[in-house]
Each structure stands twice: as structure tokens, then as C-alpha cells.
Amino acid sequence: MLIAQFSLAEQAPTSPQYHDKVAIVTGSSYGLGHELALLGAEKGMKLVLADIRPDQSETLAEQIRAKGGQAIVVEVDLADAKQRPDVIEAAMDEFGRIDYLFNNAGYSYLATLEQMDSVEAHRLFEVNYWAYADLAQRVIPIMRKQGGGTIVNVSSILGMRAAPANLGHYAATKHALHGLFQSVAQEVQGDNISVFLAAPGGMKTKISQHSTGPMADPENDRAANWEDPAIAAKDIFENMQGEAVIFNPGYVGRQ
């Protein structure tokens, strides 16, 4: 499937706006992150693919390089604050600049408040919130020095409305992203740095298989009938041309 998708991408002309731009994509092995990376490669971006499970990212990077593109892979556990600088350093060492940061990596910890394990809940926030803040903080000075850049934070529709039972911890991380990055967008607008919050609805991802917590059920793929993440990826690139800080890619935004 990957090969077929990239064959189609190879036939499309690169986009002058994105050609040779350096983009970091976290959570690039599956789901939306994979589709963002695939679309970025189609548009001529140089890619830094970051994931705790790097095998699929390595496969994609090899395909990109075989077609004349440029991509590297960084294996990283974003829950570990000491590892997060490695992503930025790898991008700068390889390409010397960072034009786009796609903060996309995340997972769900499924538990009621009564069931909450504070260690697990804190780890969730490290990946879904603090890693986003950390990487953005590190790229802002780089982008400012370059004359501009773009930071896209993948949130969720659950960051904009009440979540179902057992998803409160996950939703809390997404609400936190909205609180922080709406302010950040104002803080850096004078530096030609665009900041976005992309809040899609449900997509076909590995969210069920990668969920943790007492209410997690990896055998029940709750995303099986959800939307193709390629649709949301395309919408994200389109919405980056606009001025709205928050947007809903995919079927939610198209209603």
C-alpha cells in the first residue's frame, strides 16, 4: 500500500511553496503522521520522521530516498524530556534549518478518574502536551532567525467539546494544547511564524492498539470504521494557507 501511494505521489509535481523545506513530523509511523509525511514528500519537503516505533518510518524514508527525496528517521520516546532535543538536533545536523514542525505524536490513556494512575496520567501529558510545548519552544528561535516557519499541533475534536466517559485524560491533554497554542500564535505572529491547532474527528489509526489504561481494549479496534487520515492530512496542508489558528480537518470541518 505504501509503494502504491508513493508511486502516485512520484507522478505529481512538487509544490514550489514546500520544495526543499525541512519538516519534522512526530508520530510518523502510523495514521495521520504517516500521511502528513507522505504528502510532505510528494510536495518536495525534506523530512525528519520521529517515532517511538520507527520501523514503518524507516520503510517510508527508504522509499522517499529511492525516489530522489530526502528523509531521516529519529527513534525517540517523547515521554522522556532528555530525548526530545535529539529530534531538533538531528534536523539541524542533517539539514541546517527547520521550516515546519508537525507535532502529531500521541496516544490515549483510558481510565475513569477513580481508576487514574498518576504515573500513567503524567506520562500521557508528557507525550500529548509537554512534548508539543518543548519541541515548539526549541524551534521558535530557529524559525525566528530564519525569518519564519510553521508549527502545526494535532489536537482533537475532543479538545473542543466534552469527551465520552473514560476519555477524560486524553481530552484534557487536547484542551491544554488549545489553551497554550492560541496564546503562542499571538506571541510569535510578529516573527512570521504561523501556529495552528488541527482538531480532527476520528480517523483510522492505531489508537486502539496503542491505548493504555484499565479501560483499554486493544482487541476492539474502535477506529476501524473511522475516516481515512489521508483526507485530514490534505485538509491540514490546505488550512495552513489560511489565518484561522484552530481548524477541523476531515469530515468534521467539512460538515
Helix (H, G, I), strand (E, B) or coil at 160: coil
Rounded Cα distance between 236 and 12, Å, is 19
The CA angle 104-106-108, to the nearest 5 degrees, is 150
Q: Which residue do the cell numbers 519534522 mark?
A: 24
Cell numbers placing 96? 541546517
* Contact criterion met (CB below 8 Å) for 111 and 164: no
* Given the residues 18, 30, 170, 251, the one annotated as active site: 170
Of 26, 19, 35, residue with least CA distance to 68: 19
* Contact criterion met (CB below 8 Å) for 143 and 149: yes
DSSP output for 124-166: HHIIIIIHHHHHHHHHHHHHHHHT-EEEEEE--GGGTSPPPTT
Is 170 annotated as catalytic?
Answer: yes
CA dihedral 73, 94, 150, 76 (to 10 degrees): 30
Catalytic residue IDs: 170
